[in-house]
Structure 1
Amino acid sequence: MGIKQIAKLANVSIGTIDRVLHKRGGVSKDTEERVLKIIKETGYQKNMTASRLKLASVKKIEIAILIPLTRNKWNYWKLPKKGILKAVKELTELGVKASFYQFSDSESFSTQSEEIFSKNYDAIITVTFFKDLSNALLARANKKKIPVVFLDTEIPLKKDAFFIRQNSHVAGRVAGRLLHGLIGTKGSYFVVNIINERGVHANTIQRELGFRSFFVEKNEKVNIKTINHAIKDTKFRATKEMKAWFKEDGLKGIFVTNSKAHLLPTILNDYNIKNTFIVGFDLNKRNLEQLDDDKISFLINQQPEYQGYAAIKGLFNYLTRQDDSGLSLDIPVEIIVKEHLTSQ
């Protein structure tokens, strides 16, 4: 039912219905009550898409995106960006625009945040790489009534926040289950945290805790070693201790807690280390090549492209309909095996 039918039932003009819907005044109290009663009884809902199309030419919905700097074409953060751009393209006619800001460290995160708040953005999409700065950004946005969506990782913050992410603890448990199915209790387990210049990320810690919790809850007494390893020039260089660990007899399960699992097979091959199974994250080209070559056993997909896409769509619904149901999403743990590649 449209406003023409509402006007006919209320025996008033379309203009009167429009004034009531938009609370513009100029309507008697009795008429307003009669119109509102008919609207309620008929279940009429305003056509938000049509309204947004009318507004698009004069009032844009501008969203600021603050994400890590992407230095190469295989960088993880290019995937959320791809999803964001896809959603923005779909909503362009409705006046949605996105502006990208990138950071490489806490200082540039802070600088870019200041730049964002110096402008009149309607919403912000970012990540929780720096807890104190994330709290500061969220508090400032709340004061200005600007919704903020955090991608990739959820951490405890001082204020309630929207998160679109995969549960890292659950993902770690899944990795434990996968490797346990391959090597059981008699092999050796390694958690490899490959660290960049930003140090150990929150989701890395959450994934390792989840991995270990799987064995604790099963009451499985297995040998799990943690390797925190910084990489230089995108190369993984094994230490003497690691070489000794890897050369231990028996099956070995390696859980790489980020998207760099593709760095491990080269090391294992260089030292002729056999009977090893690797679980890692994300469907970048190099990981998929190693999966296809049977050097990685499983990849866990956290759907970063969809995270970015869902954030834009969710914010659009929130800003136009006050519907926040799409702003807190738990991305399912999707397990990718070699057969997925041949089936596509």
Structure 2
Amino acid sequence: MAVEQNKKHFGIKDIAKLANVSIATVDRVLNNRKDVSETTRQRVLAIIKEHNYQPNLFARSLSVKNNIHVAVIIPKTSFQTGYWALCLEGINKGKEELQPFGIITTIFLYDQEDVATFRKETEKLLSENFTAVVIAPIFVKETEEFVQVCHQRRMQTIYINSDIPTKSTLGYIGPDLYSTGRLAGNLTSYLVKPKSSILVLNVAKGIENYRYLDTKIEGFKEYLLSYDPSIKIDIVDIPYNEYEEVELELKINIKKYDPDLIFFTNSRVAFLGRFYADHPDLKKPPIIGFDFLSSNVEYLADGIVDFLICQRPDKQGYFALNYLYRFFLKKENFEGYKPMPIDILTKENYLFYEN
């Protein structure tokens, strides 16, 4: 009982006494400030580790309350894809958890098919005072311009879902897009024979804004062509979001290429599932698509879609806010990126999966 009591009351004063330094020095170490010698820093950190000292984050949050205001700017959910709804679920979960610590989160939603809405939302965002911003970049040029302004204002930035050349201060949380493409290539290698014809489909209105899909395709091609150079890979962009328009393009291109396998690069693979359900007279090749959405799972369960590669959009949103909590309140220093797990779902295991 006495031991528990001592642990309970072990604090900054005790650390300072054991390290033979001032309380102010301990505070500087805890807040990762630079005006402490490395020898002193390591001595204080060793004592913190030995005694498993945990800062009182609620007390710390009181000192910064109303000073940490986080913005999140992501695409709004559309009828064609529920991907961003899952991301928003994770963000809202993180938002609720962080509010008691004085971290307030404001969400801005833009239309991923209309760059004007992105500009409008970023203007609204920049008209307020935010400490950090979580960004899902779709419009690369506009995002780069926006991020440069954020950095001029000393706002921390972190990307989710896809990375872009202009680096954020706290990195990127999301799938390793090149690896997801290689994984799709690996799956394909078990499903096709030499000299097979592969059709890669990019389906989305404003496809020019989805250039991150190129990274997936690069990984896919690199893996598959190193496995078997005789395989033929054709890439087709279908710049529509309405099924009737997509259906017409699918009829043309599937007849033209007669694929032995179709790799569908984004979360709208339900379009392809519906197409083959509507045309049972057509020979269906193996289909690989993305994301655990109810519309996609319907065709996975029916055996029309063979594999779904899942990228945990809800975890991306949640982890982004959690990283900001750790950065501002726990004073952890980090940058780079946190890759999401890459999961493979089939008809046999999807019932046991949760995002």
Deviation, structure 1 residue 232: 4.2
Q: Is the 1:193–1:200 Cα contact (8 Å) retained in structure 2? A: no
Letter of the 1:312 counterpart: L
Residue 242 of structure 1, CA deviation:
1.6
Which residue does the alignment assign to 2:166?
157
Structure of larger gyration radius: 1
Counterparts of residues 101-112 of structure 1 (less than 5 Å): 101-104=108-111, 105-112=114-121
Superposed CA offset, 1:268-298 (max 9, x none): 3416222411100111101111111111110
The 5-angstrom pairing of residues 170-189 of structure 1 reads 170-189=179-198
- Which of 40, 46, 51 is equivalent to 2:59? 51
Q: Cα gap change, 1:188/1:268 in structure 2, threshold over 3 Å: closer, same or farther?
A: farther
Confirm or deny that 1:241 pairs with 2:271.
no
Unaligned runs of 5+ in 1: 24-34
Matched, 1:76 2:86: no
1:113-137 CA-partner distances (Å, limit 9, x unpaired)? 1221221111101122222222222
SS of the residue corresponding to residue 204 of structure 1 reads: helix
Q: TM-score, normalised by structure 2?
A: 0.81
Q: Classify the secondary structure of the residue corresponding to 1:63.
A: strand
Q: Aligned partner of 1:265: which letter?
A: G
- Contact residue 171 and residue 207 of structure 1 kept, 8 A: yes
Structure 2 counterpart of 1:252, from 247, 260, 281: 260
Cα 1:43–1:271 shift into 2, 3 Å: closer
Provide the C-alpha distance between the structure 1 equivalents of 2:243 and 2:302, rounded to a whole number of angstroms.
21
Alignment RMSD (CA, Å): 2.9
Equivalent residues of 2:160, 2:174 under 8 A apart: yes
Corresponding position of 2:302: 293
Q: Secondary structure at the match of 1:77?
A: helix
Deviations 1:9-59 (A, max 9, x none): 6999xxx83x56557xxxxxxxxxxx9998467337671514334336x43
Q: 2:286 aligned with 1:263, yes or no?
A: no
Separation in 1, partners of 2:214, 2:335: 27
**Contact persistence 2:207–2:239 (CA under 8 A):** no
Deviations 1:217-251 (A, max 9, x none): 224311222221122434422346324236x4xx7
Report the equivalent of 2:95.
88
Where in structure 2 are there 5+ consecutive unaligned residues? 1-9, 29-39
**Count of residue pairs brought into register by the alignment:** 325
In the alignment, the residues of structure 2 paired with residue 299 and residue 254 of structure 1 have an alpha-carbon distance, to the nearest angstrom, of 12
Question: Does the CA contact (< 8 Å) of 1:195 and 1:229 recur in 2?
Answer: yes
Q: Does 1:314 align with 2:323?
A: yes
Superposed displacement of residue 193, structure 1: 0.6
Matched residue SS, 2:325: helix
**Residues 93/185 of structure 1: CA separation in 2 closer, same or farther (3 Å cut):** same
User: What TM-score results when the alignment is normalised by the length of structure 1?
Assistant: 0.83
Distance 1:37 1:103 in 2: 46
Aligned-partner Cα distance in 1 for 2:59–2:92 = 23
Which of the residues 190, 201, 211 maps onto 1:202? 211
Q: Residue 100 in 1 paired to residue 107 in 2?
A: yes
Measured against aligned partners, the alpha-carbon deviations of 1:132-163 in whole angstroms (never above 9, x if no partner) come to 22222222122222111111111222676611
Distance verdict in 2 for CA 1:65–1:37, change over 3 Å: closer
8 Å contact from structure 2 (residues 309, 343) kept in 1: yes
Matched-pair contact (CA < 8 Å) for 2:196–2:230: no
Structure 1 pair 71–216 and aligned structure 2 pair: CA distance change class (3 A): closer
SS in 1 for 2:266: coil
Q: Is this contact kept in 2: 1:80–1:305, CA < 8 A?
A: yes
1:307-337 Cα offsets, whole Å, 9 max, x none, are 0000000011112233243762112321111
